[in-house]
């Protein structure tokens, strides 16, 4: 059995698709592309697809991950092209590697998010960010299946800053008036702290309330590097393991000069 790991996106209006919607679209793409899927055992077999830490409905993403199991080996790049052609534009398969290591989900420990705040100036955003980062705890509330829950949104935030670059237009956003862009790095903890929770925290500590809903996009997710504060590519270990190791003969030739070298 071959395992392939894929990175896919949710762009534009398709950020409003739910995880269930994507599952249905992806399974149709698997059938359309005639992918030789492995199936589970039991009374109702289903294709072996493992989804990892899907983004909330309504948020865009450049870094969603899943893993599929095949009964016949396929070239990851060709498989990526076939699946990408079988999905609607906006749900794009942008990377594929053969799984050479275990624990993809264990390598998704943090996410980098972009929060576009239309109608908010950079000065307002910077003031709110400073207040949020200065607080030891920022309590927010979220309604779940068991009612209203209160938790700390500050502890999971590893980084939060105002993007100093000029605002970049977005196809489905108005782009009129001031627009502050926040870059958020959040650890994956329990309970999960989402971008909406951080926005609630900014409102709690600095009364920051954008006049229109924020446009939220996940830019990356992977292992969080404490020293650099960056999030690394979770597929990199599989690429490294896939590279052929140098042959022993080549290593010996490089280490030992041939006899007679340098003689007159």
Q: For residue 60, is it within any domain?
A: yes
* CATH code for the domain in which residue 54 is found: 3.30.70.580
Three-state SS for 187? strand
Beta pairing, strands 215-222 & 60-70: parallel
pLDDT of residue 143: 85
Asked if 134 and 42 sit in the same domain, the reply is no
In sequence order, what are the residues at sequence separation of 6 or more whose Cβ sits closer than 8 angstroms to the Cβ of residue 194? 56
Dig out the tokens for 219 from the structure.
Answer: 């830019």
Asked if 77 and 123 sit in the same domain, the reply is no
pLDDT of residue 44: 87
Asked if 92 and 164 sit in the same domain, the reply is no
Burial call 63-79: b when 16+ CB within 10 Å, e when fewer: bbbbbbbbeeebebeeb
Asked if 130 and 36 sit in the same domain, the reply is no
Asked if 143 and 166 sit in the same domain, the reply is yes
Q: For residue 90, is it within any domain?
A: yes
Asked if 76 and 158 sit in the same domain, the reply is no
Dig out the tokens for 10 from the structure.
Answer: 């949710």
Q: For residue 242, is it within any domain?
A: no
Asked if 101 and 20 sit in the same domain, the reply is yes
Dig out the tokens for 223 from the structure.
Answer: 């292992």
Which pTM was predicted?
0.86
Asked if 120 and 221 sit in the same domain, the reply is yes
Q: For residue 264, is it within any domain?
A: no
pLDDT of residue 192: 92
Q: What is the pLDDT of residues 31-58, one digit of tens each?
A: 999 999 999 988 888 999 999 999 999 9
Q: What is the pLDDT of residues 137-190, one digit of tens each?
A: 999 999 888 888 999 999 999 999 999 875 555 555 555 679 999 999 999 999
Q: Where are the alpha helices (DSSP H) in the chain?
A: 19-32, 76-85, 122-134, 195-206, 236-242, 248-255
Q: For residue 130, is it within any domain?
A: yes
Asked if 79 and 166 sit in the same domain, the reply is no
Closest CA to 116 of 169, 75, 153: 169
Asked if 147 and 54 sit in the same domain, the reply is no
Q: For residue 245, is it within any domain?
A: no
* CATH code for the domain in which residue 137 is found: 3.30.70
C-beta of residue 20 within 8 angstroms of C-beta of residue 26: no
C-beta of residue 7 within 8 angstroms of C-beta of residue 65: yes
Q: What is the pLDDT of residues 69-109, one digit of tens each?
A: 999 999 999 999 999 999 999 999 999 999 999 889 999 99
Asked if 124 and 42 sit in the same domain, the reply is no
Domain count within the chain: 2
Q: For residue 215, is it within any domain?
A: yes
Q: Which domain holds residue 71?
A: 2-106
Q: For residue 233, is it within any domain?
A: no
Asked if 76 and 175 sit in the same domain, the reply is no
What number of residues does the chain have? 264
Average pLDDT, the chain: 89
């Amino acid at each position: 059995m071959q395992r392939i790991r894929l990175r896919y996106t949710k762009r534009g209006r398709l950020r409003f698709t739910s995880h269930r919607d994507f599952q249905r679209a992806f399974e149709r793409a698997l059938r359309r592309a005639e992918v030789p899927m492995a199936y589970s055992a039991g009374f109702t077999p289903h294709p072996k697809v493992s989804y990892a830490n899907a983004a909330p409905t309504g948020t865009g993403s450049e870094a969603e991950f899943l893993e599929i199991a095949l009964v016949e080996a396929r070239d990851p790049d060709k498989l990526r092209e076939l699946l990408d052609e079988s999905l609607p534009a906006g749900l794009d398969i942008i990377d594929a590697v053969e799984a050479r290591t275990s624990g993809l989900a264990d390598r998704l420990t943090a996410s980098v998010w972009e929060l576009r705040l239309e109608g908010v100036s950079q000065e307002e955003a910077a003031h709110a960010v400073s207040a949020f980062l200065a607080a030891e705890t920022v309590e927010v509330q979220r309604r779940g299946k068991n009612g209203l829950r209160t938790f700390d949104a500050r502890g999971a935030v590893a980084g939060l800053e105002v993007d100093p670059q000029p605002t970049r237009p977005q196809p489905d956003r108005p782009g009129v008036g001031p627009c502050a862009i926040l870059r958020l790095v959040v650890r994956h903890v329990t309970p999960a702290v989402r971008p909406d929770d951080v926005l609630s925290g900014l409102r709690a500590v600095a009364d920051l309330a954008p006049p229109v809903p924020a446009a939220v996009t996940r830019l990356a997710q992977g292992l969080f590097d404490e020293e650099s504060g960056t999030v690394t590519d979770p597929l990199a270990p599989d690429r490294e393991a896939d590279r052929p190791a140098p042959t022993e003969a080549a290593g010996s030739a490089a280490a030992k000069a041939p006899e007679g070298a340098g003689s007159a």
